[in-house]
């Protein structure tokens, strides 16, 4: 088990990835429609680092609890690159694109997780489908294809009980 403080530290990188995916949805959709994006920021200001590329500032900010995409302010009512001067549907698509990207990202992550090797039931038994080299199971002599039928002389009568016993 991981100490609690390490678990809490893992929250920030995970949150940053989720925020980046979300904000990238807004960003890429705005760019697709030809809107001017002034800044793409990860975290909330004050800015720690920023680099201007192609008219957009890409920044890393001090407070890692969110992010933002700053679209251009309408200085001229005829400026078609401004968010405010765009058609309602284009603005709506930019606004919902972050959530749509999070949905696609979740589907991608779950697809990857379910494609990874894992134990599976064949005829009521758990069959080892993959091993991490030098893991405790590998060192103990468990091999791919082995069937696990009991733990500490307690036979598994269903997948659910085997899952509970293995976790505990």
Q: CB–CB of 147/127 below 8 Å?
A: yes
DSSP 54-105: TTEEEEEEEEEEEEEEEEPP-SSTT-TTSGGGS-HHHHHHHHHHHHHHHHHH
Q: Which is catalytic among the residues 23, 78, 84, 163?
A: 23
Task: Decide if 23 is catalytic.
Answer: yes
**CA 158, 164, 165 angle in degrees (round to 5)?**
90
* 121 DSSP β-pair partners: 126
8 A C-beta contact, residue 81 and residue 38: no
The residues annotated with a catalytic role in the active site are 23
């Amino acid at each position: 088990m991981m100490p609690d403080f390490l678990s809490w530290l893992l929250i920030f990188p995970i949150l940053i990835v989720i925020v980046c995916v979300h904000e990238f949805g807004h960003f890429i959709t705005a760019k697709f429609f030809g809107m001017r994006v002034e800044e793409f920021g990860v975290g909330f200001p004050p800015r720690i680092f920023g680099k201007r590329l192609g008219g957009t500032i890409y920044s890393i900010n001090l407070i890692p609890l969110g992010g933002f995409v700053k679209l251009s302010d309408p200085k001229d009512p005829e400026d078609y690159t401004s968010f405010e001067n765009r058609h309602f549907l284009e603005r709506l698509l930019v606004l919902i694109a972050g959530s749509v990207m999070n949905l696609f990202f979740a589907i991608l992550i779950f697809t990857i997780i379910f494609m990874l090797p894992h134990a599976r039931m064949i005829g009521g038994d758990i069959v080892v489908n993959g091993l991490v080299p030098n893991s405790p199971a590998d060192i103990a002599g468990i091999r791919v294809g082995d069937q696990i039928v009991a733990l500490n002389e307690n036979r598994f009568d269903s997948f659910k009980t085997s899952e509970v016993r293995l976790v505990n």
